[in-house]
Structure 1
Amino acid sequence: MKFVLKEEKGFIYIDEGKGDVLLLLHGLMGALSNWEAVIDEFKDRYRVIIPILPIYDLPLLTTGVKTLSKYVHRFIRHMELENITLIGNSLGGHVGLIYTLAHPERLKSLVLTGSSGLYENAFGGSFPRRENYEFVKEKVEYTFYDPATATKDLVDEVFITINDRSKVLRILAMAKSAIRHNMAKELHKITMPVGLIWGRNDKITPPEVAVEFHQLFPQSKLYWIDQCGHAPMMEQPEEFNRILKEYLGTLKVDPVKQEV
């Protein structure tokens, strides 16, 4: 990471640039580095903030998406943030959805990319061969359209994480919490503009998930990225940034439901 990590009051985060706030939330196996290209592109015009979600630090009995949402709320209050565009990938999107329902007054818009909340085909209920490096490598490659996006550094990081017993127990607890917390019946309550940026080749939250999100939100725009899997901001960063810039521009006009 080339950006400075700040730490205060128990929060660890990146805070770059000035202007309207883009608050980025990473996924279950994600990291702040997943968002590097977004920070680079937007920090000259926006204040880009990324908190580390304490997935591995929560008590096992309270490890879940609602607990992370409460953490995000404490962080936002601590930072005194308002008029936020919240952008979440995978589990981060799910946490963002829960936060949005609870505290819509803090947000201007929500952007989801490969978000859970309706359906996800993740690692599954266990890691039966977590000590097998090739098995882990295949699972990480499954996240992307182009397996080469799963660099050795990324595979190494996941391999180390899931072979830490404390961490893997929390990953499984968080994944099960996300599966249980289906949000289909609540999404109509989110009346602010929502941007959906989706990889057409996402195998974890497939394209039909994006279509369902689009149908359930009162105001949403759906954008597709070809040859792209579950983490568009990593696999197709230039196209992701182009679309995000286009979407942010639409917030200045009356939003409409549209697929692009």
Structure 2
Amino acid sequence: MTHRLKKENKFSYIEVGEGQPIIVLHGLMGGLSNFDAVTDFFSSRGYKILIPELPIYSMSLLKTNVKSFAKYLHDFIAFKGFEEVILLGNSLGGHIGLYHTKLYPEKVKALIITGSSGLYESAMGSGYTKRSDYEVIKKKAQDVFYDPAVATKDIVDEVYETVNDRNKLIKTLAIAKSAIRHNMAKDLPNMNIPTCIIWGKNDIVTPPEVADEFNQLLPDSDLYWIDKCGHAAMMEHPDEFNTILSTWLTERKL
């Protein structure tokens, strides 16, 4: 991570740049550094980028769910004193952003989702029966990307450590169940917020038809594809991701 983590109140977060706030929401296994390219690009172009550390493994088991994380995000926005924010979420982070928008639409100026859960959950929390086998976990981490080389040893080590920590594994499985329970299909048609959907054409965690369904159900959405790209477009093709998003924000006057 190239950016310093601030710790204030109950929040740990990165904050870079000045201007319209964009709050970035990481996924279940996603580190804050996954968004370094997004942070560097947009913080130099009139946006304030904030990436809170979501309390995925520190909340009580009863509160380890999508709704609680959405409320935590609401508390963070209130703590920072923002009237209105843009939310950008990958995977579970996209789901949290969507659920927050359902609960607090007046706080959300626009949404950006990439590889988001909320309609279809496949790999989240599954397949950890052989979690002590490093090679199995390595393959699982590589499957997130079109190019397996993007899954560096640091990324694999972090996933391996997470799934072999009993407390973290229990929380991971609780979140997986919560993601299924908090399916958004019935909510999305009522969420009239400008939404940018950026999706990897080769995503096997949330396949391309999931992006099509998001685009059909969300009344004010635009869908963009990135070729030769898996579940984390902002990591695998950062320049293309940033160009698509920058153009969309300009066109939407955000």
Normalising by structure 2, report the TM-score: 0.97
Asked whether the 8 Å contact 1:111–1:194 carries over to 2, the reply is yes
Query: How far apart, CA to CA, are the structure 2 residues paired with 1:161 and 1:96?
Result: 23
Letter in 2 for 1:7: K
Q: Which residue number corresponds to residue 235 of structure 1?
A: 236
Structure 2 residue ranges without an equivalent (≥5): none
Letter in 2 for 1:29: M
Query: How far apart, CA to CA, are the structure 2 residues paired with 1:150 and 1:62?
Result: 30
* Alignment deviations for residues 27-74 of structure 1 (CA, whole Å, 9 cap, x no partner): 011110110000111111210000000000011122110010110011
Structure 1 residue ranges without an equivalent (≥5): 254-260
Query: How far apart, CA to CA, are the structure 1 residues paired with 2:32 and 2:125?
Result: 24
Query: How far apart, CA to CA, are the structure 1 residues paired with 2:124 and 2:199?
Result: 20
Q: Which residue number corresponds to residue 251 of structure 1?
A: 252
Query: How far apart, CA to CA, are the structure 2 residues paired with 1:84 and 1:190?
Result: 15
* Alignment deviations for residues 159-181 of structure 1 (CA, whole Å, 9 cap, x no partner): 11111111111011001110121
**Where do residues 107-122 of structure 1 align in structure 2 (5 Å cutoff)?**
107-122=108-123
Query: How far apart, CA to CA, are the structure 2 residues paired with 1:168 and 1:117?
Result: 21
Asked whether the 8 Å contact 2:125–2:172 carries over to 1, the reply is no
Letter in 2 for 1:206: P
- 1:197 and 2:198 correspond: yes
Q: Which residue number corresponds to residue 12 of structure 2?
A: 12
Q: Which residue number corresponds to residue 173 of structure 1?
A: 174
Asked whether the 8 Å contact 1:191–1:219 carries over to 2, the reply is yes
Q: Which residue number corresponds to residue 95 of structure 2?
A: 94
Asked whether the 8 Å contact 1:125–1:176 carries over to 2, the reply is no
Q: Which residue number corresponds to residue 258 of structure 1?
A: none
Asked whether the 8 Å contact 1:123–1:139 carries over to 2, the reply is no
Query: How far apart, CA to CA, are the structure 1 residues paired with 2:143 and 2:178?
Result: 22
* Cα separation, partners in 2 of 1:123 and 1:85, compared to 1, 3 Å: closer
Query: How far apart, CA to CA, are the structure 1 residues paired with 2:42 and 2:173?
Result: 33
Cα drift, residue 125 of structure 1: 3.6
Asked whether the 8 Å contact 1:195–1:247 carries over to 2, the reply is yes
Cα drift, residue 102 of structure 1: 1.1
Letter in 2 for 1:160: E
SS at the partner of 1:238?
helix
Query: How far apart, CA to CA, are the structure 2 residues paired with 1:123 and 1:38?
Result: 24
Query: How far apart, CA to CA, are the structure 1 residues paired with 2:70 and 2:176?
Result: 15
Letter in 1 for 2:43: K
SS at the partner of 1:21?
strand
What is the alpha-carbon root mean square deviation over aligned residues?
1.1
Query: How far apart, CA to CA, are the structure 2 residues paired with 1:123 and 1:222?
Result: 23
